[in-house]
Amino acid sequence: MTLITTQLGDAVGVQYAGVRDLSEVSSSPRLTVGVMVGKFKRGKFYQPFEVTSQSLRARLGYQPNNLDYMAVQDALDAGMPSLWVMRVPDVSGIGLDCAPTTLSFPPTTIPNAEFRIYYSVDDGPVEFWEYNLEVFDMDYLFERFFETLDFVVGGGGGLGHFQFISQFTPSQISGAGASSVEELNPRTLTLHLAPPENTAVDVIELVFGTSVSVHSCAVVNFLGI
């Protein structure tokens, strides 16, 4: 007679534990890769990028009331190790304030003097930057000006909200476009005529004759703000 038991051990026979009904149990494996498409405060527009629990706020920006952000956070909290995110632009924002502009002016040789550039960023206060120029041209002056601004700029094709390009004629101050951005963050740089009490040479009056402004769409490939 054949020995039938649920735990055979070293004996000769048949080990049989009966039939288990698993017809109502899901056999799907646990998800380890997820993809989310949505609108977020930060992140690339031009390709998907990976987000983990540790990098969530840095990569997407903290938006506790954004349903797309909440969905990503819920997936990571549920145990998913990472999530691939494809950011899509907010149409309402791009149409209104994402039109970058370029300001051009010819290279200008200027005498030795003390110069001032009055400027403002967005709705901020008008400030001035001053410099003692010694036998340099206007390109050099604007390059020094951009180096001291307290918001992200780039020079000579570098990264930033605005670029000053002096390798070509005419020289240009241009705003960044939205083709490859990390954070859609429109900015406006306005160069003002000097007030009557100004005693230095007014650069904007000398070059443009009137107040001018340049608009920018975004920080290009920049995650530091």
Give per-residue pLDDT as tens, 114-127.
Answer: 889 999 988 788 99
Task: Pick 218 or 181 by higher pLDDT.
Answer: 218
Give per-residue pLDDT as tens, 193-207.
Answer: 999 999 888 888 888
For residue 49, the model assigns a pLDDT of 86
For residue 211, the model assigns a pLDDT of 92
Provide mean pLDDT across the span 69-81.
90
Checking if the pLDDT of 97 tops 70, the result is no
Q: What is the pTM of this model?
A: 0.55
The topology (CATH level 3) of 31-88 is Dna Ligase; domain 1 (3.30.1490)
Domain boundaries, the chain: 31-88, 95-220
Distance CA 20, CA 16 (A): 11
Q: Which residues of 136-149 are buried (b: 16+ CB within 10 A; e: fewer)?
A: eebbbbbeebbeeb
Distance CA 26, CA 214 (A): 58
For residue 208, the model assigns a pLDDT of 86
